[in-house]
Amino acid sequence: MRLGSLFADLTRRERAAWWILSALTLVQSVICALEVAGSPIGDTPVGGLFNITLHLMPGLMVAARARRAPRPVRAAWRLLAAGMISYGAGGTYWWLSARHRDPQPLVTLAEPLWLLFYPCFVVALVLLLRQRLPKVSAQAWLDGVIASAAVCALVALPMLAAVDPAPHSTVMGVVVNAAYPVCDIAVAGCLLGAWALNGWRADRLLGLLIAGMGLFAVGDAFSMVLLWQGSDVPAWVRLMWILALIILAVAAHQPAGPSRTSRPSVWLSTAVPAVLAFLCLGLLMYAALSDRSVTAISSLLAGIAVTAAIVRMLASVRTAEALGAARRQARTDELTGLANRRFFVERLDRELEQGTEDLAVAFVDLDRFKEVNDSFGHDVGDNLLTLVGQRMRGALGSDVLLARLGGDEFGLIMPGAGRDGAAAIVDGVLHALREPFVLPEVDLHVDASIGIAVSPDDGADRSTLLRRADVAMYAAKAAHGPPVFATGLDDHARARLTMLEELRAGLERAELVLHYQPKVTVDAAARVVGVEALVRWQHPVRGLVYPDAFLYTAESADLMSRVTTVVLDLACRQSRAWHDQGMPVPVAVNLSVSDLRDRTLPEQIGELLRRYGLPPTALELEVTESVLMTDADDALAQLGRLRDMGVRLAVDDYGTGYSSLSYLRVLPVDDLKLDRAFVSRCLGDPRSAAIVHSTVQLAHSLGMCIVAEGVEDADTFERLREYGCDLAQGYGIARPHDAGTTTAWLRGREIAGVVVQRAAV
- Give me the mean pLDDT over the 416-422 stretch: 89
Is residue 231 within 8 A of residue 163, CB to CB? The reply is no
Is residue 46 within 8 A of residue 256, CB to CB? The reply is no
Percent pLDDT > 70 in the chain is: 71
* φ, ψ (nearest 5 deg) of residue 563: -60, -45
Closest of 606, 622, 602, 613 to residue 573, by C-alpha: 613
Residue 497 in domain = no
Asked whether the predicted pLDDT for residue 719 surpasses 60, the reply is yes
- Give me the mean pLDDT over the 51-59 stretch: 85
**Angle 138-161/171-197 helices, nearest 10 degrees?**
150
Asked whether the predicted pLDDT for residue 251 surpasses 50, the reply is yes
Confidence of residue 273 (pLDDT cuts 50, 70, 90): low
Is residue 206 within 8 A of residue 191, CB to CB? The reply is yes
Strand, helix or coil for residue 2:
coil
Residue 494 in domain = no
Rg of the Cα trace of the chain?
43
Q: Which residue has the higher pLDDT, 226 or 119?
A: 119
Asked whether the predicted pLDDT for residue 759 surpasses 50, the reply is no
Confidence of residue 758 (pLDDT cuts 50, 70, 90): very low
Tally DSSP H helices, then E strands, for the chain.
Answer: 28, 18
Asked whether the predicted pLDDT for residue 452 surpasses 50, the reply is yes
448 and 561 assigned to the same domain = no
Name the DSSP class of 618: G
406 and 445 assigned to the same domain = yes
Task: Report pLDDT for 406.
Answer: 84
Confidence of residue 2 (pLDDT cuts 50, 70, 90): very low
Closest of 295, 321, 308, 318 to residue 150, by C-alpha: 308
Is residue 478 within 8 A of residue 490, CB to CB? The reply is no
Asked whether the predicted pLDDT for residue 279 surpasses 80, the reply is no
How far apart, in whole angstroms, are the C-alpha atoms of residue 447 and residue 431? 9
135 and 229 assigned to the same domain = yes
Mean pLDDT in the chain? 78
CB atoms closer than 10 angstroms to residue 161: 13
Residue 557 in domain = yes
Is residue 553 within 8 A of residue 478, CB to CB? The reply is no
Range in 36-40, 46-50, 191-195 with the lowest mean pLDDT: 191-195
Is residue 622 within 8 A of residue 590, CB to CB? The reply is yes
Residue 292 in domain = yes
Residue 227 in domain = yes
Pairing of strands 750-751, 754-755: antiparallel
How far apart, in whole angstroms, are the C-alpha atoms of residue 622 and residue 88? 89
Range in 129-138, 197-206, 730-739 with the lowest mean pLDDT: 129-138
150 and 240 assigned to the same domain = yes
Asked whether the predicted pLDDT for residue 646 surpasses 60, the reply is yes
732 and 685 assigned to the same domain = yes
| Angle CA 693–695–700, to nearest 5 | 100
144 and 99 assigned to the same domain = yes
- Give me the mean pLDDT over the 689-704 stretch: 90
CB atoms closer than 10 angstroms to residue 256: 20
Task: Report pLDDT for 760.
Answer: 31
Instruction: Give the 3-state secondary structure of 145-180.
Output: HHHHHHHHHHHHHHHHHCCCCCCCCCHHHHHHHHHH
* Owning domain of residue 733: 506-754
- Give me the mean pLDDT over the 678-687 stretch: 89
How far apart, in whole angstroms, are the C-alpha atoms of residue 618 and residue 196? 65
Task: Report pLDDT for 146.
Answer: 63
How far apart, in whole angstroms, are the C-alpha atoms of residue 438 and residue 449? 21
109 and 196 assigned to the same domain = yes
Closest of 594, 668, 603 to residue 626, by C-alpha: 594
Name the DSSP class of 435: S
Q: Tell me, what CATH number does 701's domain have?
A: 3.20.20.450
Residue 522 in domain = yes
Instruction: Tell me, rounded to whole angstroms, the distance of Cα 676 from its chain centroid.
Output: 51
Q: Tell me, what CATH number does 381's domain have?
A: 3.30.70.270
Q: pTM value?
A: 0.45
Q: How many domains does the chain have?
A: 3
Closest of 340, 448, 431, 437 to residue 383, by C-alpha: 437
Q: How far is CA 713 from CA 202, 273, 527, 734, in A?
A: 78, 88, 17, 11
CB atoms closer than 10 angstroms to residue 331: 16
Q: Which residue has the higher pLDDT, 308 or 24?
A: 24
Confidence of residue 1 (pLDDT cuts 50, 70, 90): very low
3-state helix, strand, coil in the chain (%, to 5): 60, 10, 25
549 and 485 assigned to the same domain = no
Residue 332 in domain = no
559 and 603 assigned to the same domain = yes
Confidence of residue 761 (pLDDT cuts 50, 70, 90): very low
Asked whether the predicted pLDDT for residue 277 surpasses 70, the reply is no
Q: Which residue has the higher pLDDT, 634 or 738?
A: 738
Q: pLDDT, tens digit, for every residue of 167-213?
A: 555 656 656 666 666 676 667 666 666 666 666 666 677 778 777 87
Asked whether the predicted pLDDT for residue 217 surpasses 80, the reply is no
How far apart, in whole angstroms, are the C-alpha atoms of residue 166 and residue 174? 8
Task: Report pLDDT for 95.
Answer: 76
Across the chain, which distance is largest between two alpha carbons, in Å?
135
Task: Report pLDDT for 283.
Answer: 64
Q: Which residue has the higher pLDDT, 608 or 209?
A: 608
Pairing of strands 448-454, 484-485: parallel
Is residue 308 within 8 A of residue 281, CB to CB? The reply is no
Task: Report pLDDT for 296.
Answer: 63
Q: Taking the CA of residue 386 as centre, how many other CA atoms within 13 Å lie in the half-sphere pointing to its CB?
A: 12
211 and 246 assigned to the same domain = yes
Residue 256 in domain = yes
Range in 102-106, 231-235, 273-277, 431-435 with the lowest mean pLDDT: 102-106
Asked whether the predicted pLDDT for residue 488 surpasses 50, the reply is yes
CB atoms closer than 10 angstroms to residue 232: 12
Q: pLDDT, tens digit, for every residue of 284-334?
A: 666 666 655 555 666 666 676 667 666 766 666 565 555 555 555 567 888
Which of 263, 295, 314 is the C-terminal boundary of a domain? Answer: 314
592 and 469 assigned to the same domain = no
Task: Report pLDDT for 177.
Answer: 62
Which of 454, 489, 524 is the C-terminal boundary of a domain? Answer: 489
| Angle CA 655–659–665, to nearest 5 | 100
48 and 96 assigned to the same domain = yes
Name the DSSP class of 95: I
Instruction: Tell me, rounded to whole angstroms, the distance of Cα 181 from its chain centroid.
Output: 49
Task: Report pLDDT for 66.
Answer: 83
Is residue 132 within 8 A of residue 206, CB to CB? The reply is no
